[in-house]
A and B are shown apart, each in its own frame.
Chain A
Amino acid sequence: MGEVNRAVALGRKLTKLAFALTLLALVTLLGALSGCREPPRGIVVWHPYRGAEQKALESVAQTFSSARGVTVTLLAVPYDAYAAKLEAAIPRDNGPDVFVSPHERLGSYLANHLVAPAGDAFPDVDVARYVPTAVDAVTERGIRYAVPLASKCAALYINTKLLDEAPATLDALARKKGTLGAGVFPLVYEAQTVYFHVPLLHAFGGRIFDGTSYAMVGPEAERAAEKARDLMATGIVPPEPSGDLVKQLFASGKAAAVISGPWLAGDLEGGVSYRVVPLPSVEGAGKMRPFLTVDGAFLTPQGSTSALARELARFLGAPESADVRRFVGKQDVATKSAWDKREGHAPTADDAVLEAFHNAASDAVPMPTSLAMRATWVPAEQALRKVVRGEGSARAAMEEGLARYLDVMRPLPAKRPSPAPLVSLLGLTLLAAAFYAVKRARHPGFARELRASKPAYKYVLHSALTLMVLVVLPLVAGAGTSFFAGTRDAPQFVGLTNYIEILTVRGRPLGQWLSHGSFYLTLLVTVLWTVVNVVAHVSLGLALGLLLAKPYLRLRALYRVLLILPWAVPSYVTALAWKGMFHRQFGAVNAILVALGAEPISWFAKFSTAFAANVATNVWLGFPFMMVVVMGALTSIPKDVLEAAEVDGATRSQAFRLVTLPLLKPTLLPAVVLGSVWTFNMFNVVFLVSGGEPDGSTDILVSEAYRWAFARNAQFGYAAAYAVIIFGLLALMSRALGQVGKDKSEAKS
């Protein structure tokens, strides 16, 4: 009996503890922990640098810190999270005072009020200090917004063993094909990536953005795209060239020349002898001019009020700091004095590369900073890839690119819609809910039911509170933005317009409702994606779970641990490994196919194969989860039930169908529902493996929503409306699935 008493006491304690935890989490922490935050700091600097660049920046900051007696705290933020972190922190005054960023984001920073004019961090007397193109890059409407630190642009690396001298023209380089040895390409560059296509585009007199709108149309753009296609079709440039392939082929001497940026030099230690020259010209056209990006030191609105922060920003660009960044950080610094000839300084190979980039930069075109510029990348890339794949004429592809850009950038509704439809919709919903609640409450049994529910509430209350604050509230807030359009800076209430535009495919005629980029086409792909994946996950997970339960397995523990591997290794690494395995020429999957005597496949050139590649990756990532769920569920099936079935003469398949499966169902069904939901929203795989290739056709609804938010002029409202629609669809789907589950279980009992 003593044990029972102890258990009662324990039970009470646990319940109390649960309440205490809730209070701790949701109320007490409000005040009690406020003292734990960092005390007011010196100057905080955020940057995306690592390696040598980081070291140089740290050293410069240290110099400033000891000279001025102020603490300078540097924080290296991962590039992928950089923009989101700036946007979240700066408006709440939790951001840095100074941050380092490429200049082309200026438009977006201005729209979100993340930067202040540089002011006396970059006074007029300093203008002569910097390279003119770098000053242009950080200037918007005559106001300087950052201290220019370093430039990055593409140039030509040539392998000095394979090429005696720098090729005068692109065509001269192309004619080297066949004279360089087996398996050696004359030129490797990311021909399908717009950033690396731009030099060619500039050579033919085209451009991607004219200051206000998309401009990759017309004969110049067509000729440039056709040139890229011909380079690949004739085997001068290898197929599907990625950044890693460029690195790999050049490092192993399989490329006579590559187009890349200064970052490549750091990866080429030893091994290959090379030098860097500006990009060549194209015969019958002009010079290839790459885009220039300039890293600048920006002041946040908060930082611009601090004289010390402004002083630090100015100091980062000063001659003594520039020398450190050049010689320690190996940067192509924008400060002119760093490039003066030095007495007694013996130039190294690194210096030569840096100088070459410095020279190449003087010819480069600063990347436009406008927010609209960011919306050009995806349509331009899809158009370029279409030409390179040889689908249709270049003119059609270019015009389609423009149409896509205009579709994405359609203007905000001219007149403000009245909030009446939305308000009445919300009002009606609330009214219905209230009516339902009152009806329920007035039901004679309700008070009794409520009393009977009291013991259950004891178990539920704390989790209900936690979920309300940390899960439901953020979601509702997120959904709220779907009634607005425009950027975050100037949100404009548009009522239900976003929804109407999505569901009517932005006003296209009914015949085009299944055309490219339409909601309905993407929905079909998403449904197909979900069904294929979930079926594969469940059958594979179930099969492996059952196989692993075989009593005679000697290596069970080993099998289990090995099969769990895909789930244990972080998916953002393995998804990229899978992408590499599906490469046309160098991927492992094609290597296996060739070894088996089959033809290699261009996996990302067709919808079917690109989709299959995505599915292979996602099944690989997801089956261990189902397997573990099945294994867990199998352990809670009492053995004697199965033994009893056996005694009763059930065959194995009967025992599985009639005993095991029904007993697995309570655990399996929620896993299947949740698995479907997760697969429906599986952003990572689609984004990392196919990236929507070809032509955005393998995009699912979530990756489409992501593009609206981040690649298409930051239309967060539109993206949020997508998210709400996804939510609604899933709610319907799970209702249907839940109904299926309920009917059966009720029929049985």
Chain B
Amino acid sequence: MSSTEAGPTSRASPLERFIVNALLIVAVVYALYPVLWVISLAFSSGSTPSLRAFPLPHDVTLDNFRVVTGWGDTAKSFLFARQLMNSLVVSLATASMAVFIATPTAYALARYEFVGKRSGMRTLLLTQMFPGVASAVPLYLILDTLHLLDTRSGLVLVYAATAVPFAIFQLRGAFLAIPVDLEEAAMVDGATRTQAFLKVALPAARPAIAVTALFAFMSAWNEFILAATLIGRESAFTLPVVLQSYVGEYNTSWGAFAAGAILVSVPVMALFYVAQKQLISGLTSGGVKG
């Protein structure tokens, strides 16, 4: 990426570079420190958090990871793999469904005037304001009525629906930031509105779509209360539900909990790594420049 962004490099003084890097390193330390605790916990033997200033694992061991993945026990490893797959499938489906539902709506809210637009947007915002705890039981009843209880499709539907309002806001903002002239030019050239949306606006909004999908993926990937309530079979559980079962009424297997948390985080990190390339490509692609 350095080749495409090398242009103005010469202008920055060494002092400025130093300050920028120093600031970023301070932020990285702040971001990393508690995570290092979690990592050190995951690699420590025994199940007690160590209480020291510097997070170093004591008696480095992989036992906690073995416990979580059911190492050596075929049936348990198989179950873990299955639950990992559930998490992946549910989260990916949630992300694509949320983007699929939200994108056309966001576009319409950004570009069209229509009856009910303002009240619709207000309702959309209002849905975010009701504390979520209150809706678990009604959701259960609705899914039961739809015969979707205990199925992954039911879970995906619920997750996607909860992710959609935010996705719409996010994408509407992105569409608003794209100069309308591009689409107008395309329409002068004979394209229909739908074509303008698909061929001009959509590619230009790609980075925002990637971020939105990432958000939806994350929310599904980390959720456990609804998953534990709506799913009643161990083979259909998602990973956070499994993780949560290491927290007992009286005591918690901290090591296993931390190891599981790390396993759960790795795919998100990988996904972000991919999505950030998408962000950069949005920066350098000709789509926005027109």
Contacts and interface: CB of A to CB of B under 8 A. Distances in A.
B74 interface: no
B107 to A, nearest CB: 6
Contacts of A559: 24, 28
Nearest to A267: B47
16 contacts: A18-B100, A76-B245, A78-B244, A85-B232, A446-B115, A452-B114, A455-B193, A463-B104, A565-B269, A569-B35, A573-B258, A636-B207, A638-B288, A667-B170, A706-B133, A723-B133
Contact of A673 (B125, B140, B178, B254): B125
Chain B interface: which size bin?
35 or more
Contacts of B211: 628-629, 632
| A-B interface, 4 closest residue pairs, ranked by CB to CB distance from nearest | A586-B51, A591-B53, A453-B114, A81-B228
Nearest to B2: A554
A197 B210 CA distance: 52
Contacts of A547: 20, 23-24
Given A37-B150, A79-B248, A466 B53 contact: no
A263 B130 contact: no
B23 to A, nearest CB: 6
B123 to A, nearest CB: 7
B120 to A, nearest CB: 7
A121 to B, nearest CB: 23
A209 interface: no
Contact of B191 (A4, A567, A628): A4
B85 interface: no
A186 B271 CA distance: 50
A625 B48 CA distance: 31
Interface string A538-570: 001001100110111111110111111111111
A264 interface: yes
Main DSSP-derived SS at the B contact region: helix
Given A459-B107, A577-B41, 10 more contacts: A11-B198, A267-B47, A459-B108, A467-B127, A472-B127, A565-B35, A565-B265, A628-B211, A632-B207, A666-B177
Interface in B231-283: 232-234, 240-241, 243-251, 253-254, 257-258, 261-262, 264-265, 268-269, 272-273, 276, 279-280, 282-283
A636 B182 CA distance: 13
B53 A261 contact: no
Interface string B9-21: 1001000010011
A127 interface: no
Contact of B225 (A50, A81, A671): A81
B80 interface: no
A637 interface: yes
A486 to B, nearest CB: 16
A551 B8 contact: yes
Nearest to A544: B27
Nearest to A710: B133
Interface string B134-145: 111111111010
A200 B165 CA distance: 52
Contacts of A587: 51
A663 interface: yes
B207 to A, nearest CB: 5
Interface stretch (A332-340, A380-388, A473-481): A473-481
Contacts of B240: 570
A712 interface: no
A420 interface: no
Interface in A205-230: none
A671 B170 contact: yes
Nearest to B266: A568
Given A263-B251, A726-B131, A566 B279 contact: no
A244 B48 contact: yes
Interface residues of A, number: 158
A636 B173 CA distance: 11
Given A473-B142, A591-B52, A449 B115 contact: yes
B129 interface: yes
A7 B198 contact: yes
A33 B147 contact: yes
A251 B108 CA distance: 62
A48 B245 CA distance: 8
B17 to A, nearest CB: 6
Interface in B32-84: 32-35, 37-38, 41, 46-55
B52 A588 contact: yes
Q: Which of A463, A471, A620, A668 has the most CB of B within 10 A?
A: A463
Contacts of A233: none
Nearest to B51: A586
Given A470-B157, A478-B134, A568-B265, A573 B38 contact: yes
A580 B79 CA distance: 32
B31 A565 contact: yes
Contacts of B136: 84, 88
B89 interface: no
Contact of B28 (A12, A29, A263, A562): A562
A77 interface: yes
A568 B268 contact: yes
Contacts of A734: 125, 129
Contacts of B195: 4, 7-8, 11
A264 B251 contact: yes
Interface in A236-260: 243-245, 247-248, 251
B225 A80 contact: yes
Contacts of B137: 84, 87-88, 478
Contacts of B92: none
Contact of A569 (B150, B161, B261): B261
A511 to B, nearest CB: 30
B88 interface: no
B225 A84 contact: yes
Interface string A1-18: 000100110111011001
Contacts of B257: 573
A460 B129 contact: no
Given A455-B112, A475-B135, A577 B140 contact: no
Contacts of A591: 52-53
A163 interface: no
A478 B127 contact: no
A271 B59 CA distance: 12
Contacts of A472: 123, 127
A466 B156 CA distance: 12
Contacts of B244: 78-81, 572
B248 A561 contact: no
Contacts of B7: 551
Nearest to B281: A635
Given A452-B114, A565-B32, A267 B170 contact: no
B95 interface: no
Contact of A460 (B120, B173, B245, B258): B120
Nearest to B149: A94
Contacts of A261: 250
Contacts of A7: 191, 194-195, 198-199
A463 B288 contact: no
B90 interface: no
A457 to B, nearest CB: 7
A33 B150 CA distance: 12
A674 B245 contact: no
B86 interface: no
Interface in A172-208: none
Contact of A18 (B28, B104, B204): B104
Contact of A666 (B38, B173, B264, B282): B173
B142 A580 contact: no
A639 B195 CA distance: 26
A571 B115 contact: no
Interface string A569-605: 1111110011011010011100110010000000000
Contact of B177 (A30, A38, A633, A705): A633
A36 interface: yes
Contacts of B116: 453
Nearest to A569: B265
B173 A670 contact: yes
